[in-house]
Amino acid sequence: IEDEQKRSQVLAQYVGNMYDINSVKQRTHVAGYSDIECYTKEGPYDNTYVVYVYYQMELKNIATPVPSIERLYVVRDTNTGNVYIQNDPGEEIMEYMAEVNKDSDVQELLKDVDKEYQDAKDSDERLKKYFDDMNEAADKAKETAAKNDSTKSPETTANNPK
């Protein structure tokens, strides 16, 4: 799609559809998404793009939306014009995307979204508590996983009987 604005609208449509298939766990907390905007950078091949998707995530029972950003690798089918998000683009593409992340305009975008996120948390005590609780739960899960890994006994095999 040659027109930059039209391309962004098409990508936003497909990215918007992606959020309809969130995990069950996330659906229990997320009420919706709004203000979806796509920022595109050329990919390493024709008809490929690194897309930064900015959106406001609305959480259930919390008034303040959460500014968020996702990075996606998108490929356009030249026959149909459809765009597809590649969830596992491979190591080479991931390295390319890491390089794109270093571009000054991308760094500025990420910095702006992080500031919006911090400002949102600072302005809403319920939002701050939500993320503090989520981080605490994640830390406990990591500790439990690490503890379980360190206490596992070796598997019984013919060469390693218990």
- The DSSP secondary-structure symbol of 3 reads S
What pLDDT score was predicted for residue 97?
Answer: 96
The mean of the pLDDT values for the chain is 82
Are 31 and 57 spatial neighbours (Cβ–Cβ below 8 Å)?
Answer: no
What pLDDT score was predicted for residue 152?
Answer: 58
Which amino acid would we find at residue 57? M
Give the separation between CA 34 and CA 65, rounded to whole angstroms.
9
Residues in the chain predicted with pLDDT less than 70, given as ranges, are 1-27, 150-162
**Which of 132, 107, 114, 127 lies closest to 63, judged by CA?**
127
Are 31 and 60 spatial neighbours (Cβ–Cβ below 8 Å)?
Answer: yes
What pLDDT score was predicted for residue 1?
Answer: 44
DSSP 86-139: -S---HHHHHHHHHHHTSHHHHHHHHHHHHHHHHHHHH-HHHHHHHHHHHHHHH
pLDDT tens column, 128-156? 999 888 888 888 888 888 887 766 555 54
